[in-house]
Amino acid sequence: MNMEMKEEARKIHEQSITVDTNQVGPFALYSKNMMQEVDILLAEGASGPEIWDRMTSMRARELVANDTFRKAYLENWTSAGVTTICYSLFRFANPYTFESTIEDMSDITYMMDSLPEAFVKVTKAEDLRRAKKEGKFGIIFFIENTEQFGRDLPKVDLFYGLGLRIVQLTYNSMNFVGCGCTERNDTGLSSFGLEVVARLNQLHMMIDLSHCGQKTVADTIVHSRDPVVFTHTFARALRDHARGKTDEQLQAVGEKGGYIGVASCPFFITKEKHATIEHYLRHIDHIVQVAGINHVGIGTDWYPPPHKGYAATLNAAFATVGFRPQDSVDYLRSVEGFEDWSDWPNITSGLLARGYSKGDVRKIIGGNFLRVFERIVG
């Protein structure tokens, strides 16, 4: 890629509202205190999920109290050039409970409230635009399961009141609402699932189907009044994997007016041992061809920790949330050209190099999500 094209990509990126629809921010950045804490936890025999939860809480507090870490963190986010992220609320040691989700939401709220000069809590489209205008970083609360609700429909309203705006119905396995993509038998939406979908529509919350099974996806597309989204997925036609979506599913979401964020996880985008940004861009190309240019975006969904000893403990732990050996989860892998979240502009450059117009690049890196978010959420 020549320097002129790189400069054009930089300008487009800087001038556009950009959104990563499944990310936690600068994923590979830990403070010195965090790295030391991981060493201590590993020496004490802590599990990967226990360390995950400790790091999630510690990051929020380090950002508030540690000037050096905060500066590096905000510089990394600035280099990524992303206006807003959809932040998946997730505690690993006790996942998808009401209490653990509230705990995670509390930590991130504390961080945003303590640093209003840096962060904007996004609950409507205007907040996203404001974040861009003011040079701040937006965060949209997002959950990847509905087990947090139990069988208590009013909990949907409670979470909405706390700022939640995106709800994924299932995470790999079966719950009260429906079935996930690695479940043995997908029976589609339950009767309670239909109630949840209707309530999410009434509250104007986005319905995400990224980890849902095929019949659950199809049921939701039929029964949802509003468009639905895949915040982070990939083309199953290019990589035959349970987490990917078929051309039929991708087309159906596009036809309903929805949004598809493309994930960059190395073991999702290719079977090859060495994953590159080229593999990732091919998935974007394919989904654009199938679903249409107005329905595709970026949902990277990849944040391996910088501590390799800790990263190695996570692979087996993901079996506890419905991933199987054949799903090839590997937190020691990377994507060449997108090793760090600050490499996000390489996606913009890559799209230009593949012949996308400036207008279409703006759609993919954030415009499409903003349009669908505003239509559904307001």
Question: How far, in whole angstroms, is CA 255 from its chain's centroid?
Answer: 22
Residue 1: predicted pLDDT? 62
What pTM does this model have? 0.97
Q: Which tens digit of pLDDT belongs to each residue from 66-111?
A: 999 999 999 999 999 999 999 999 999 999 999 999 999 999 999 9
Could you tell me if 205 and 165 are in contact, meaning their C-beta atoms sit under 8 angstroms apart?
yes
On the question of pLDDT at 315 being above 90, the answer is: no
Q: How many angstroms separate the Cα of 371 from the Cα of each of 73, 102, 124, 131?
A: 29, 29, 11, 16
On the question of pLDDT at 3 being above 90, the answer is: no
Question: What would the mean pLDDT of 323-346 be, rounded to a whole number?
Answer: 93
On the question of pLDDT at 7 being above 90, the answer is: no
Among candidate residues 315, 142, 334, the one with its CA nearest the CA of residue 232:
142
β 19-20/84-88 pair status: parallel
Could you tell me if 317 and 47 are in contact, meaning their C-beta atoms sit under 8 angstroms apart?
yes
Residue 27: predicted pLDDT? 79
Q: Is 81 exposed, middle or buried (0-12, 13-18, 19+ CB in 10 A)?
A: middle
Residues β-bridged to residue 84: 19, 138
Could you tell me if 155 and 147 are in contact, meaning their C-beta atoms sit under 8 angstroms apart?
no
Q: Which tens digit of pLDDT belongs to each residue from 216-269?
A: 999 999 999 999 999 999 999 999 999 999 999 999 999 999 999 999 999 999
Residue 362: predicted pLDDT? 97
> Residue 209 gets which letter from DSSP?
-
Q: Which of 1-15, 128-142, 278-292 shows the lowest mean pLDDT across its residues?
A: 1-15
Could you tell me if 111 and 120 are in contact, meaning their C-beta atoms sit under 8 angstroms apart?
no
CA 22 – CA 6 distance, rounded (Å): 25
Residue with tokens 């974007």: 284
Residue with tokens 């450059």: 349
Residue 28: predicted pLDDT? 81
Residue 15 CB coordination number (10 Å):
11
Domains of the chain: 17-376 (3.20.20.140)
Residue 277: predicted pLDDT? 97
CA 296 – CA 280 distance, rounded (Å): 13
Which residue did the predictor score with more confidence, 3 or 348? 348
